[in-house]
């Protein structure tokens, strides 16, 4: 495979965490990467690994003009984008009643609407070539709602639903869609990438308040390894039939499997009520 034939990955949010680990792993494979961050200086060291195979760009996914310009620059440099990884985003915690409207909307702009915009910008090239893979980094919170993370979970559930619909639309065009749902990983998500509205309503102290306190104190102790996660995501793109979901980490896997079994059992238990809601002639 010549340098011009190697896959081109476009990854948002590469300054730290999953995005950085993934960009470095892609380069280690001998492939090409477009590493983006709000400030391109934050990814200069990634580009320095191999300037011929790496392009660093400033990108705030909440700014439409920057999304369009970044995709155009990537395609101009490398000719195409084979894999889009929507990784940019951050956490916000609050009890539902305590949620701050400005913070909630800002999180949705980054986690949801920015992801939508970047996906739309990359899709035309993939559609024309009838090839590509879109990886959306969601979270275990995209499958399970936890106290204190209702708004974060809502943003990730939105991406999961979006991805379900997108997959049905683009599968006939040869484009794969996978959501990656990490549990706790040793990134700075719980530090620099987490915002919290302080718990001030005493009635939520033992639910949302307790979980917010616990989350803020776990940085550096999580079981998940971002480098191993990056390897798993790369392996996804090498599969002939990539899965719709990839839950990462034992804690996350156990939580999602338990929640889905419970949800299915609850739905099946109400089967008679569900079917009785149709017109009799149906």
Residue that is written with structure tokens 């309503």 in the block: 201
Q: How far apart are CA 33 and CA 255, in angstroms?
A: 33
In this structure, are residues 201 and 98 in contact, taking their beta carbons and an 8 Å threshold? Answer: yes
Burial of 84 (0-12, 13-18, 19+ CB in 10 A): buried
Instruction: Give 3-state DSSP helix, strand, coil % of the chain, rounded to 5.
Output: 50, 15, 30
Report, in angstroms and rounded to the nearest whole number, the Rg of the chain calculated over CA atoms: 20
Q: How far apart are CA 40 and CA 15, in angstroms?
A: 8
Catalytic (active site) residue 253: no
Catalytic residue among 151, 152, 204, 253: 152
Burial of 29 (0-12, 13-18, 19+ CB in 10 A): middle
**Farthest CA pair distance, the chain:** 68
Q: How far apart are CA 225 and CA 212, in angstroms?
A: 22
Q: How far apart are CA 94 and CA 151, in angstroms?
A: 8
Strands of the sheet containing 83-86, edge to edge, are 54-58, 32-37, 8-11, 83-86, 132-137, 175-182, 245-248
Token readout for 86 is: 């929507």
Q: Nearest CA to 35 among 61, 17, 9? A: 9
Q: Catalytic positions, please?
A: 152
């Amino acid at each position: 495979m010549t340098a011009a034939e190697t896959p081109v990955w476009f990854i948002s949010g590469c300054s730290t965490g999953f995005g950085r680990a993934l960009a470095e792993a892609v380069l280690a494979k001998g492939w090409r990467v477009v590493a983006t961050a709000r400030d391109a200086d934050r990814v200069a060291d990634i580009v320095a690994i191999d300037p011929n195979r790496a392009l660093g760009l400033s990108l705030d996914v909440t700014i439409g003009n920057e999304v369009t310009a970044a995709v155009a620059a990537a395609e101009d440099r490398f000719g195409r984008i084979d894999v889009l990884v929507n990784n940019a985003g951050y956490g916000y915690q609050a009890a539902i009643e305590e949620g701050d409207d400005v913070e909630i909307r800002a999180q949705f702009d980054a986690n949801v609407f920015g992801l939508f915009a970047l996906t739309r910008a990359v899709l035309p090239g993939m559609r024309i070539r009838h090839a590509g893979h879109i990886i959306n980094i969601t979270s275990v919170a995209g499958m399970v709602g936890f106290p204190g993370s209702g708004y974060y979970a809502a943003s990730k559930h939105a991406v999961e639903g979006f991805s379900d619909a997108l997959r049905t639309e683009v599968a006939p065009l040869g484009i794969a869609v996978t959501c990656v749902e990490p549990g706790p990983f040793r990134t700075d998500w719980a530090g620099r990438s987490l915002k919290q509205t302080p718990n001030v309503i005493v009635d939520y102290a033992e639910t949302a308040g307790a979980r917010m306190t616990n989350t803020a104190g776990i940085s550096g102790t999580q079981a998940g390894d971002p480098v191993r996660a990056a390897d798993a995501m790369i392996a996804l793109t090498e599969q002939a039939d990539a899965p719709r979901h990839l839950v990462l980490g034992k804690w996350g896997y156990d939580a999602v499997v338990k929640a889905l079994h419970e949800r299915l059992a609850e739905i099946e238990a109400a089967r008679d009520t569900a079917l009785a809601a149709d017109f009799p002639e149906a």
